[in-house]
Amino acid sequence: MTKNAFISAIAYENKEENRGSVEFQVFCFTNKIRRLTSHLELHKKDYSSQRGLRKILGKRQQLLVYLSKKNRVRYKELISQLNIREIKTR
């Protein structure tokens, strides 16, 4: 349900349904991260899920770095919408 709302918001902005956009990918990864985090709170020794969570976190991190370099305004809007922290700069 939230995915469809986000898709319609992106489609409204871009005038087409663009599921390959960086924003949509980050949104999907964020949902997966939240689900895996709640799963791992119950199953602390599920090491396969921990590994998967780390991989998804890395992918989301790469996409956020890319977006922050390409378009800082879209990046700021996205992190405020998803309520995630800003990436650390080196």
What residues does each domain of the chain span? 21-82
Q: What is the pLDDT of residue 12?
A: 47
Q: Is it the case that residue 26 has pLDDT exceeding 50?
A: yes
**The CATH number of domain 21-82 is 1.10.287.10:** yes
Report, as an integer, the average pLDDT of 13-20.
64
Query: How confident is residue 88, by pLDDT bands cut at 50, 70 and 90?
Result: confident
High-pLDDT (> 70) share of the chain, %:
80
Residue 23's nearest CA partner among 68, 87, 56, 57 is: 68
Query: How confident is residue 18, by pLDDT bands cut at 50, 70 and 90?
Result: confident
Alpha-helical (H) ranges within 15-71 are 22-42, 47-70
Q: Is it the case that residue 6 has pLDDT exceeding 80?
A: no
